[in-house]
Amino acid sequence: MRRNRLLLTAVFGPYGIKNRYAESLGMQMELLNNQITRMQGVHSPRQAYWTFPLYLLAENISVETTVLDFPSWRDFKKELARGYTHVGINFIVPNVLKAKRMAEYVRAHYPDTKIILGGYGTIIPDLQDYVPHDALCKGEGVRWLRAYFGEDTEAPVKHPALRSPAYAYLYGAKGRPSGAILMPGVGCENGCKFCITSHQFNKQYHSLLPTGEDMFNACVKIESELNERGFTILDENFLKQSRRAQDLLAVMTERGKPYVFDIFSSAEVIKKFGADFLVRLGVRMIWVGVESKHNDHDKTRGIDLKKLFAELQSKGISVNASTILFHDHHDRKTILEDIDYVIGLGSDFIQFMNYTPLAGTQLYRELDAENRLKDIPYRHQHGAGELFFTHPHINDRRDHVRYLRNAFRKKYLKDGPGVLNLGITAIRGYQSALEGHRKRQAEGMTWDQEALRYVKSATPASDRFMELRLKMMKRIAENARPMLVPAWVFAPNRRQRLKARLAMTMYREVLGPSDFKQRMISAVLVVTGAVEKVRILLSSIIGREGVVHQPHSRIERYPERVPMQEHDSIRDQAVVSRPINDVLQASYRSAEEQAGN
């Protein structure tokens, strides 16, 4: 009997280019530039992210597996020729035609190979008519794939060591990617009616790393393999599992490891934990769903979001607010009121997206019952263009694009570059944390792990962990400092130039003058930023919103993991310097290493 061999692959490139298989708008593999810092031009960080679930799946089955990420068509054909019994294709809805081409090629040239489809593209109702396949991986993928191959579904999950992103540019300068990914669980219990994640997992949460100890051990493993101490936690509502978050802080405190995290969480659990807990936990950035001023979600009901965001930012935690345009109540007046409302909350970043009824959600079922769904090709269903349902008030597709684009631009002109806001929040937070720590030490206050607050202690002791955390917060602020000069040079208006100057003054008062290295990085960013502005202008002439970057193709083989390889078909680009990327995503050295600096 032929031994099973599995190829797990992402869809083929190029990406961000309109062709017969995909669109340019909404198709770039860049979360920041496409959904958060859009319309910020040269100030927008450029990062693409590996297809993380593929590596998690490969790490947790015994079948001989190859992961092929960001392949060219040539790469895909070349790898298939090595011979596989199964091919798994991960895709999202707008990339269905790419998945179709890949699956049809497998059928035509390797008819005995089984095709497994995975990712959010599997929600397409008539997928069998589009993409030939033998199985759909739905729900929590590790258990599904183990069951498919007859393996133990309840075996502990091994977390892969994954550095992210695939590439990183800031002001046109290329940096060496740093930071890592944690995937502690999937699904969300909140059940917002538009949320595909919640409905894909039946409004349930499935733990992959169920305890704080499990998460800590994954961090230690990644640190030992990649020398990374900063993590993006890919979990729809991380703080919802409150005991795990508390235990993670407890074990970090016990071991003296002040790791740093970017997380997603809803307002009601953020308020429950409080900013002081999040500072100790090491939260650098938090993604919070706002949706609309007039929403009725439990996660925001009765919460003063502006006050909450201001408190988080004062403690050094950057906030990315997420909001939705074209709710049913939006007309040409109220949609602008909602845009002004979310901008007025003062978050560092905002994700604007159009209301999107993805198949499987409650919203999709409601609109289908009302006969309001439109027959829009799947390749256009990306949430950044024409609505694919009939709206009560606004149905010109040009308006669907225009309101969204103008919302991003309004945020940019009013509050300035997101990277500047990030730097200001970092320095304010470090100064606040330092002053708060000194005051608590003088008053004999200690942290109460169960009460989640500082309390008066009869036996006060030095807060060693907070001292380590302060060193990390200082490092984060120092990494952001070189952005201030290019943020001033390329500021969109006088107000933002003044904001950048005030930020420079704040940094000088708290940290002292910039050192030679920081000044050199700033100078490099100004030069590369000027070049990037020209490239953006040239891109606009040919009809593109910005410069399109292509990630390298990557291949890894399991169970004996082979380090990343780059196919000959992908031309490497020179790395400008590691410090450039430190500005984007800090290299988070351990605080112990900082002690003698």
What digits encode the pLDDT tens for the residues 85-97? 999 999 999 999 9
Q: Identify the pLDDT of residue 184.
A: 96
Residue among 247, 258, 253 nearest 462 (CA) = 253
Q: Tens of pLDDT along 376-425? A: 999 998 888 899 999 999 999 999 999 999 999 999 999 999 999 999 99
Judge contact between 189 and 204, C-beta under 8 A: yes
3-class DSSP assignment, residue 199: helix
- Residue 143: which H helix or E strand, with range? helix 141-148
* pLDDT (mean) for 173-192: 91
Query: How far apart are alpha carbons 41 and 532 in whole angstroms?
Result: 9
> Given the DSSP bridges, would you call strands 318-325 and 283-291 parallel, antiparallel or unpaired?
parallel
Determine phi and psi for 506, rounding to 5 degrees: -60, -45
* pLDDT (mean) for 554-580: 52
What's the DSSP call for residue 93? G
Judge contact between 96 and 379, C-beta under 8 A: yes
Residue 207: count of CB within 10 angstroms of its CB:
16
Determine phi and psi for 227, rounding to 5 degrees: 60, 40
Query: How far apart are alpha carbons 411 and 350 in whole angstroms?
Result: 8
Question: Read out DSSP for 464-478?
Answer: HHHHHHHHHHHHHHH
Q: Identify the pLDDT of residue 292.
A: 85
Q: Tens of pLDDT along 215-253? A: 999 999 999 999 999 999 999 999 999 999 999 999 999
Q: Identify the pLDDT of residue 250.
A: 97
Which residue's structure tokens are 């112990």? Answer: 592
Q: Identify the pLDDT of residue 1.
A: 62
Query: How far apart are alpha carbons 118 and 240 in whole angstroms?
Result: 26
Domains defined along the chain, listed by start? 1-159+554-570 (3.40.50), 179-415 (3.80.30.20), 420-458+466-542 (no CATH)
Q: Identify the pLDDT of residue 593.
A: 33
Residue 158: count of CB within 10 angstroms of its CB:
12
The number of residues in the chain equals 597
Beta bridge partners of 288: 321
Query: How far apart are alpha carbons 277 and 261 in whole angstroms?
Result: 13
Under the banding of pLDDT at 50, 70 and 90, the label for residue 575 is very low
Q: Quick one: what percent of the chain has pLDDT higher than 90?
A: 81
Cα dihedral angle (306, 312, 317, 318), rounded to 10 degrees? 0
The CB-side HSE value for 39 (13 A sphere, CA atoms) comes to: 21
Question: Helix 418-443 crosses helix 305-314 at what angle (to 10 degrees)?
Answer: 70
Judge contact between 193 and 299, C-beta under 8 A: no
Residue 437: count of CB within 10 angstroms of its CB:
17
Q: Identify the pLDDT of residue 54.
A: 97
Residue 365's identity, in one-letter code, is: R
**Dihedral sign from CA coordinates of 222, 590, 506, 288:** positive
Q: Tens of pLDDT along 7-66? A: 999 999 999 888 999 887 654 668 899 999 999 999 999 999 999 999 999 999 999 999
Residue 297: count of CB within 10 angstroms of its CB:
17
Q: Identify the pLDDT of residue 591.
A: 33
Residue among 596, 428, 45, 244 nearest 261 (CA) = 244
